Structure 1
Amino acid sequence: MTFDVFSIRLIAMSDLDNYFLMVENNRKRLEDFFTGTVSRTKTISETEQFLKELLQKCDERLYYPFVIENLQTKELIGFIDIKNIDWNIPKAELGFYTDANYAGKGITSKAFSLVVNHCFNQFGFVKLFLRTHESNSAAQKLAEKNGFQIEGKIRKDYKTTNGQVVDLLYYGRIKE
């Protein structure tokens, strides 16, 4: 999937160095709500093992990790994953983050829209959802801009890196 000078594609082992760099450059921003990513990517070798596990889950149709790549610079500037897949319904959760240097420029919104369409048209999901903290107004705007509706607040649904258990807003979108 491509738009402007960006590509959205499944992550590959060849992305190891660029992926580590993207996480490292955004570690502070990611630490509260991407606990697994932050805790599993502290070194290149840990990140390599983490990517191997993500790709294994992808092979098993349990998880799909996409990167947003700047085609001109070959820099990874964002990540969108399809997780918590339930093939019986079928539905899945989407998660995403963007490099601080690219945040607020509409890139993630365009990429997210393409992934949403891909989920409905290629994977056949009938429902997509995302969860976000009340403080993440950018994620809320992105969800609403892409046709997701707030379905409610899930109380005490996520443990942050510092151990705090917090409420999350739940957004859903049904295939039209």
Structure 2
Amino acid sequence: MQFDNYSIRLLSIQDLDGFFQLVEKNRQRLEDFFTGTVSRTKTIEDTQYFIIDMIQRSKDKIYFPYVIVDNSNDKVIGFLDLKNIDWNIPKSELGLYIDADYANKGITTKALRLFCEFCFEEYEFKKMFLRTHQNNLAARNVAEKCGFEIEGTIRRDYKTTSGEIVDLIYYGKLN
């Protein structure tokens, strides 16, 4: 998938250094709501095992990890994933984050729009959804710009890295 000067593609083991650098640089921004990623990428070796696990889950069709790449420098600048997939509906939850240096430039919105179109076509999902904290205005704005609608707030739905249990707003998008 291509847009502007960026591409979106499945994560591969060749992305090890770039993915590790993305997480390491943005660790503080990610730690409360990407607890699995943060906890499993503390070292380059940990990150390698984490990527191998993600690739295996992709082969098993239960999880799909994608990276956003800046084509001008081949740098991994963001991450999108499909998780909590229910093939019976079929539907999937989306997760996404972008490097702080690329935030607030419209890249995330363009990436998510393209990615949703791809997922509805490629995986034939009938619904895609995402969850975010009420204070994450950037994620909420991106979701709404991409046609996601608030379906509700699920109270005490997520435990952050610090151990706080918080409410999450659910957004859904239908095909």
Under TM normalisation by the shorter chain, which class is it? over 0.9
Alpha-carbon separation, structure 1, partners of 2:119 and 2:84: 13
Alpha-carbon separation, structure 1, partners of 2:44 and 2:168: 31
Which secondary structure does the structure 2 equivalent of 1:120 belong to? helix
Alpha-carbon separation, structure 1, partners of 2:19 and 2:119: 23
Alignment of 1:1-176 (within 5 A): 1-175=1-175
RMSD: 0.5
1:121-175 Cα distance to aligned partner (Å, 9 max, x none):
1100000000000010111111111111000000111000011110000000111
TM-score for both structures, normalised by structure 2: 0.99
Alpha-carbon separation, structure 2, partners of 1:118 and 1:7: 13
Shift of 1:37: 0.2
Shift of 1:72: 1.1
Gap runs ≥5 in structure 1? none
The code of the aligned residue for 1:134 comes to: Q
The code of the aligned residue for 2:73 comes to: T
Structure 1 stretches of at least 4 aligned residues deviating more than 3 Å after TM superposition:
none
Which secondary structure does the structure 2 equivalent of 1:163 belong to? coil
Alpha-carbon separation, structure 1, partners of 2:105 and 2:125: 28
Alpha-carbon separation, structure 1, partners of 2:158 and 2:129: 15
TM-score for both structures, normalised by structure 1: 0.98
Gap runs ≥5 in structure 2? none
Count, aligned residues: 175
Alpha-carbon separation, structure 1, partners of 2:142 and 2:72: 25
The code of the aligned residue for 1:167 comes to: D
Name the % identity: 57
